[in-house]
Amino acid sequence: MSDLVGLLIGLILTLFIYSYVVGDNPLYRLAVHILVGVSAAYTAVVVIQQIIVPVAEQIRQNPTDRTSLMWGVPVFLALLLLLKRLPSLAWLGNNTVAMLLGVGAATALLGAFTGTLWPQITAVPGFNVSPFQGLLIAILTIMTLLSFQFSGQIKNGQWQLSTWQQGITQIGRAVLMITFGALFAALLNTGLILLGSRLSYYLNQFLQQLS
């Protein structure tokens, strides 16, 4: 009986999520709130069980150990981060936030280069493309990256891009629009396939439970 109830709840929440196809509605927001709440609670439990409790136990057993002393730095920074909740002491957590942003930005930049840009660059020769096509891909990629530049000049009291910057920006935005359109179409197609798969799964499970 409990399995049947779980399947029914899963089916209802799945339909709530896909109700966003007809527009934003309370059922969709309810499902999203449940998803975010459950995810946050699960993350909190995992962090407490796998990080906070083991570290606290290690520090309690060997407070003078070098590893325990090294844990004092992140614990201290975490305590400073908690002070952001207090308006009068919020400035004490600024250094922790700055370190989080700096490390996060550096990690994201390195990951984007080593995990995305460099593999794409090295993979191009493996495709059956002509030198012209390879050059065109490189130029469009550069123009797309340059479309995110914000240097300009002041004309008639207004900040404006130069003519060549405007041309590059328009081409880069066109490439982005085509890319996003293709990604959205692929995402929509994937969503419909997943919906059909989930409905088929629930139907088979319901039939097995009722048989």
Q: Record the tokens describing residue 148, joined without a space.
A: 């995110």
Mean confidence (pLDDT) of the chain: 80
Kindly report the pTM of this predicted structure: 0.54
Q: Is residue 68 over pLDDT 90? A: no
Q: What is the DSSP string of 120-182?
A: HHHHGGGSS--HHHHHHHHHHHHHHHHTT----EEETTEEE--HHHHHHHHHHHHHHHHHHHH
Q: How far apart are CA 161 and CA 154, in angstroms?
A: 9
Q: Which residue has the higher pLDDT, 30 or 78?
A: 30
| 161: pLDDT strictly greater than 60 | yes
What pLDDT shows up at residue 46?
93
pLDDT band of residue 200 (cuts 50, 70, 90) is confident
Q: How confident is the model over 106-156, as pLDDT tens digits? A: 888 888 777 766 766 666 555 566 667 767 777 887 788 777 766 666 666
